[in-house]
């Protein structure tokens, strides 16, 4: 793919992912135009004054709840990365309708605007919490995944392709445990929900580059899942705050002990490559020849953070913390 000929739009472009995506796009891929679509003028101003003022960069104020505004923003756009979401689990639990309006109806609006505007490819950001969801955030993202996958049935032979990326916790992103531990260790005590807890772990740069590669590889209809390592919460706590007391507070509502990115049921529709898994759609429009080079998964396979065959050692974990 020749990115230099492309106009790219990223929704939620002032978030952690959006800023790293813009940085990598502008320095390594140099698209013809990169549009930051978000609803917060202050964050756009802060992003611009922080150095994101490249000649090819555009800032577009809008909300994914507004389909007409999305359609206007996508005029002439080739590629859309949909990263806008309400993603804080407690906030989504307390404000369920707001989460549905942004995460579900916003997804529907992105799809409609992309189809109407003739966008070539749309890649939507999902989460491991969409696998067998136990909280509203995960449930809304699972619905969004279903919408984006099935949107391919409306595109015809040469129309817009839609796909999703599903991955785990991002090191150092807003709301993650690393900033929390950094703040708590000043008091001498850090809080942990359960000492058995495990999570998939990925850096922001790894996540962005996985998204870019998925855009380049997608046929339309896939859910892409990177092969990434797991970590145990106690290993992270001991590394970040070795002198601190640890207070166990119990698992919070809507929280899992371990995260999964492919369930046993989804594995029957999934294939494996060297660096990723691909969940293929079970729809009649899907071409069986797509990903024919990939390997099927064994019966009963699931991709879970506690049974993962990749684990971060202390050196690797420290390196990821330093880079966050």
Give the DSSP letter of residue 135: S
Alpha carbons 38 and 14: distance in angstroms, whole number: 7
> Hey, what are 13's tokens?
């472009």
Q: Of 19, 129, 141, 280, which one is the catalytic site residue?
A: 129
Contact yes or no for 139/100 (Cβ under 8 A): no
Give me the residue label for tokens 């993962």: 308
Helix (H) or strand (E) holding 315: helix 314-323
Q: Is 6 assigned a catalytic role? A: no
Q: Are strands 7-11 and 79-82 parallel, antiparallel or unpaired?
A: parallel
Q: What DSSP assignment string belongs to 247-311?
A: EE--PPTT--SS-EEE-HHHHTTEEE-SSEEEEPP-STTS-TTTTTTSEEPPTT--EETTT-S-B
Residues in the chain: 324
> Hey, what are 253's tokens?
């509502």
Pick the closest to residue 122 from 91, 97, 149 (CA basis): 149
Q: Which residues are catalytic?
A: 129
């Amino acid at each position: 793919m020749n990115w230099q000929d492309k106009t790219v739009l990223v929704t939620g472009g002032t978030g952690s992912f959006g800023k790293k995506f813009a940085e990598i796009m502008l320095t390594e891929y140099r698209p013809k135009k990169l549009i930051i679509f978000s609803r917060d003028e202050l964050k756009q101003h802060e992003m611009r004054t922080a150095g994101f003022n490249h000649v090819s960069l555009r800032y577009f104020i809008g909300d994914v709840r507004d389909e007409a505004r999305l359609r206007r923003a996508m005029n002439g756009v080739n590629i859309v990365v949909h990263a806008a979401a309400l993603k804080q689990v407690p906030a989504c639990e307390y404000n369920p309708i707001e989460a549905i309006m942004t995460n579900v109806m916003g997804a529907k609006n992105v799809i409609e605007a992309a189809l109407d505007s003739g966008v070539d490819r749309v890649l939507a950001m999902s989460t491991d919490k969409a696998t067998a969801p136990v909280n509203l955030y995960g449930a809304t993202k699972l619905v969004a995944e279903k919408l984006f996958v099935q949107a391919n049935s409306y595109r015809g032979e040469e129309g817009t392709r839609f796909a999703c990326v599903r991955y785990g916790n991002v090191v150092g992103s807003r709301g993650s445990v690393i900033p929390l531990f950094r703040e708590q260790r000043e008091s001498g005590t850090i809080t942990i929900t359960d000492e058995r807890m495990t999570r998939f772990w990925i850096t922001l740069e790894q996540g962005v580059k996985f998204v870019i590669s998925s855009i380049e590889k997608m046929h339309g209809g896939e859910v892409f899942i990177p092969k990434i390592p797991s970590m145990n919460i106690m290993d992270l706590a001991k590394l970040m705050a070795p002198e601190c007391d640890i207070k166990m507070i119990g698992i919070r509502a809507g929280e899992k002990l371990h995260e999964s990115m492919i369930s046993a049921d989804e594995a029957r529709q999934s294939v494996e490559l060297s660096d990723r898994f691909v969940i293929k759609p079970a729809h009649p429009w899907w071409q069986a020849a797509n990903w024919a080079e990939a390997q099927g998964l064994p019966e009963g396979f699931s991709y879970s953070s506690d049974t993962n065959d990749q684990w971060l050692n202390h050196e690797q974990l420290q390196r990821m913390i330093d880079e966050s």
